[in-house]
């Protein structure tokens, strides 16, 4: 048997979550955000499970080209736009929509004399202060874009900084500023990420841009994925490779940072930070052994973790261990490890074998 670390990707669950997006935002078109290898789930396989998505959102030309070469004909949006003038030709050739968040990027298109016209999405900074044009300059930027022969349709987007918070202040201000800025300007509008799809229906507008909810994680602190009707897509699993009785006071793992409080069985599972399991997951972080909860014991190593098997007298070498996914919400593991599901998903490393369940 080979090393047993595997990520099972449940594609029907991905489809189900997409349908949930449609139920939450029935009036809007859906740009499925599949950047970062579909949040670590596998770009092309995830995209295949989203036949009803109206567009795909990516952040690199490579991702866009992978989708085109896999035969996808739909709108693809490069969410951070072009990184250099040399990408303008590729965007035309592969029919990729480009976000424009900075004047520099307008220059890339102005200087490219020939090539197919591009649909562009003008990014407006409504308060996140990361990317985008100041609202005050938007009319002038639109004028400039309209004078460029290679610019076809112009659409508009902005991004929320706090849509996952119950406190509405930032979100309402950003929503209002977005609408005010675009008053009198024709073009489709897009604001909502997953949190806003779920919590801020007024912000859905023409296009919603869900990412993490498609993969079955809740972006809202007060609602679990199950509460929201979302199903886990990725289940990260491995097996026990050792089960050993330890005595009271025996330390486990690097730094001898955890000691057995009594005579007890310790399991060692074949997974570690080299696979993308978070090194900072503390003792007590939940895992499943044979489908039942157990707790991490000792520090996470590169290739292994220790598991407190009190309450699991039946556990044997070869038994299945789940790190997150079905039966163990990724959001719970992320919270225990002081991170977010996005980082856990994206961090699953290339040595993990992926199985796709159709």
Ligand X SMILES: *Cc1c(COP(=O)(O)O)cnc(C)c1O
Q: Tell me the catalytic residues.
A: 35, 254
Q: How far is CA 143 from CA 126, 152, 176, 187, 287, in A?
A: 20, 13, 22, 13, 56
Q: Which of residues 251-270 bind ligand X (CB under 6 A)?
A: none
Q: Are 283 and 336 in contact (CB under 8 A)?
A: no
Instruction: Establish if 8 lies at the interface with ligand X (CB under 6 A).
Output: no
Q: Which stretch binds ligand X (CB under 6 A): 109-117, 178-186, 208-216, 229-237?
A: 208-216
Rounded distance, CA 77 to CA 59, Å?
8
Instruction: State how far the Cα of 32 lies from the Cα of 30, in Å rounded to an integer.
Output: 6
Evaluate the CA torsion angle 235, 339, 207, 99 in order and state its sign.
negative
Q: Does 212 bind ligand X (CB under 6 A)?
A: yes
Measured from the CB of residue 224, what is the shortest distance to ligand X in angstroms? 16
When the beta carbons of 235 and 341 are compared against ligand X, the nearer one is 341
107 φ, ψ to 5°?
-55, -40
Query: Dihedral, CA atoms, 6, 3, 332, 166, nearest 10 degrees?
Result: -50
Residue 208 or 236: the one with the smaller Cβ distance to ligand X is: 208
Query: Is 193 among the residues that bind ligand X (CB under 6 A)?
Result: yes
Q: Does the CA dihedral 15-18-20-23 come out positive or negative?
A: negative
Least spacing, CB of residue 28 vs ligand X, in Å: 13
End-to-end Cα distance, the chain: 24
Site map (CB under 6 A) of ligand X, residues 87-126, x = contact: ----------------------------------------
Region class of 318: left (phi > 0), else alpha (psi between -120 and 50), else beta: left
Kindly identify the residues of this chain, within the stretch 129-168, that bind ligand X according to CB under 6 A. 159
CB of 159 to ligand X, least distance (A): 5
Radius of gyration of the chain (CA): 23
- Asked if 246 and 38 touch (Cβ cutoff 8 Å), the reply is no
Nearest to ligand X of 35, 189 (CB atom): 35
* 194 touches ligand X (CB under 6 A): yes
Nearer to ligand X among residue 82 and residue 269 (C-beta): 82
Q: From the list 8, 37, 209, 239, which residue makes contact with ligand X (rule: CB under 6 A)?
A: 209
Closer CB to ligand X, residue 219 or residue 267?
219
Q: Which of 13, 34, 79, 220 binds ligand X (CB under 6 A)?
A: 79
If binding is defined by CB under 6 A, does position 33 make contact with ligand X?
yes
Cβ closer to ligand X: 19 or 355?
19
Residue of closest CB approach to ligand X: 211
CB 8 within 8 A of CB 185: no
Residues of this chain that interact with ligand X (CB under 6 A) are 33, 35, 79, 159, 193-194, 209-212, 219
């Amino acid at each position: 048997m080979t090393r047993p670390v595997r990520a099972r990707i449940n594609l029907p669950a991905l489809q189900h979550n997409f349908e949930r997006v449609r139920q939450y935002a029935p009036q809007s078109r859906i740009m499925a955000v599949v950047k970062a290898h579909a949040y670590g789930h596998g770009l092309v396989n995830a995209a295949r499970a989203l036949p009803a998505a109206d567009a795909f959102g990516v952040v690199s030309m490579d991702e866009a080209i992978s989708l085109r070469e896999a035969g996808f004909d739909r709108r693809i949006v490069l969410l951070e736009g072009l990184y250099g003038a040399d990408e303008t030709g590729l965007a035309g050739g592969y029919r990729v929509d480009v976000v424009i968040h900075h004047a520099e990027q307008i220059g890339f298109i102005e200087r490219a004399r020939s090539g197919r016209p591009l649909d562009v999405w003008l990014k407006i900074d409504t308060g996140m202060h990361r990317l985008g044009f100041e609202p005050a300059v938007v009319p002038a930027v639109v004028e400039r874009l309209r004078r460029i022969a290679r610019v076809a349709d112009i659409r508009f987007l902005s991004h929320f900084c706090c849509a996952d918070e119950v406190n509405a202040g930032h979100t309402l201000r950003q929503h209002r500023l977005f609408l005010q800025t675009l008053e009198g300007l024709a073009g489709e509008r897009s604001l909502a990420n997953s949190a806003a799809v779920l919590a801020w229906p007024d912000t859905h507008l023409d296009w919603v841009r869900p990412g993490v909810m498609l993969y079955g994680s809740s972006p809202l602190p007060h609602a679990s994925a199950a509460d929201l009707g979302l199903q886990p897509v990725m289940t990260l699993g491995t097996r026990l490779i050792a089960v050993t009785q330890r005595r009271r006071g025996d330390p486990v793992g690097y730094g001898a940072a955890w000691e057995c409080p009594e005579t007890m069985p310790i399991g060692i599972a074949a997974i570690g930070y080299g696979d993308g399991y978070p090194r900072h997951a503390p003792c007590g972080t939940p895992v499943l052994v044979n489908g039942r909860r157990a707790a991490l014991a000792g520090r996470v190593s590169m290739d292994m973790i220790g598991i407190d098997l009190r309450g699991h007298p039946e556990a044997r070498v070869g038994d299945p261990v789940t790190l997150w996914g079905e039966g163990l919400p990724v959001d719970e593991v992320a919270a225990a490890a002081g991170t977010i599901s996005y980082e856990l998903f994206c961090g699953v490393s290339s040595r993990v074998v992926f199985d796709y369940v159709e």
